[in-house]
């Protein structure tokens, strides 16, 4: 894969998509509609978005199957306000599985998006515009895609923990079947941190392209709904104890 600037037309190679969609920043921006833009961002950042689901599996479902007790990240510690730092819902088990799961999922999106898109496409390869000169290019393209996904998953977990920390400082922690009544703190921090990771750590790749920022804001508006539907599905299939 060859690297090229965001404002130059990419040479054709194994990972080149011969499309005006990818040829320059103006055409990238003009090719995204009010719907295709957020959908593209959701696809590119899907490993980060689904890291929460992987964390849920690692923190609850897998321990139930294996008998390995989940280990809270905060070790049960409380702050002066009397509330836990993060709570039992944030575990080392979940963190590790989230990072690994996101890395593997990014390898899948790289495989599905490779060599195959046209103008106004959505399912693009997140490694477009990346090559062996990038810092995250470890172990070839598959290693690079794993590193990219793993870091997006880590960003998701940092954002999720940040939201949990703020909720507990506000006294809005979840109690049993009772919701914390803080839907924005349950959803927006993890998405914001995922985008920050993508923009700061992968600026040379399509996933970190500045032209995606407006679509990121669009996706943020939809994120609470996506998160709610995901949790309802997890509850329906028995992966979650509550539908939120």
pLDDT, tens only, 223-244: 877 666 666 656 665 655 655 5
> What average pLDDT score do residues 192-203 get?
95
pTM score above 0.85: no
pLDDT, tens only, 97-143: 999 999 999 999 998 887 555 444 678 889 888 888 999 999 999 99
Q: For residues 178 and 144, what is the distance between their CA atoms, to the nearest angstrom?
A: 41
Provide the H-helix boundaries in the chain.
25-31, 36-44, 46-49, 51-56, 62-66, 92-113, 140-169, 183-201, 213-236
Q: For residues 74 and 79, what is the distance between their CA atoms, to the nearest angstrom?
A: 11
Q: For residue 219, how many other CB atoms are within 10 A of its CB?
A: 21
Query: What does residue 163 show for φ and ψ, rounded to 5 degrees?
Result: -65, -40
């Amino acid at each position: 894969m060859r690297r090229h600037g965001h404002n130059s037309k990419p040479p054709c190679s194994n990972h080149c998509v011969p499309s005006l969609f990818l040829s320059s920043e103006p055409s990238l921006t003009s090719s995204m509609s009010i719907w295709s833009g957020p959908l593209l961002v959701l696809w590119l950042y899907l490993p980060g978005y689904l890291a929460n689901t992987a964390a849920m599996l690692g923190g609850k479902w897998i321990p139930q199957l294996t008998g390995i007790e989940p280990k809270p990240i905060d070790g049960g510690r409380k702050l002066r306000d009397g509330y836990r730092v993060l709570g039992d819902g944030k575990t080392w088990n979940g963190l590790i599985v989230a990072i690994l799961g996101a890395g593997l999922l990014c390898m899948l999106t790289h495989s599905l998006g490779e060599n195959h898109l046209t103008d106004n496409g959505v399912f693009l390869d997140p490694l477009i515009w990346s090559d062996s000169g990038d810092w995250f290019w470890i172990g070839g393209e598959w290693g690079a895609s794993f590193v990219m996904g793993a870091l997006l998953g880590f960003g998701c977990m940092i954002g999720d923990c940040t939201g949990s920390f703020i909720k507990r400082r506000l006294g809005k922690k979840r109690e049993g079947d009772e919701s914390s009544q803080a839907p924005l703190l349950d959803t927006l921090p993890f998405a914001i941190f995922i985008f920050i990771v993508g923009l700061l750590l992968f600026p040379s790749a399509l996933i970190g392209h500045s032209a995606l920022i407006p679509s990121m804001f669009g996706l943020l508006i939809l994120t609470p709904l996506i998160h709610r539907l995901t949790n309802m599905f997890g509850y329906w299939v028995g992966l979650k104890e509550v539908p939120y």
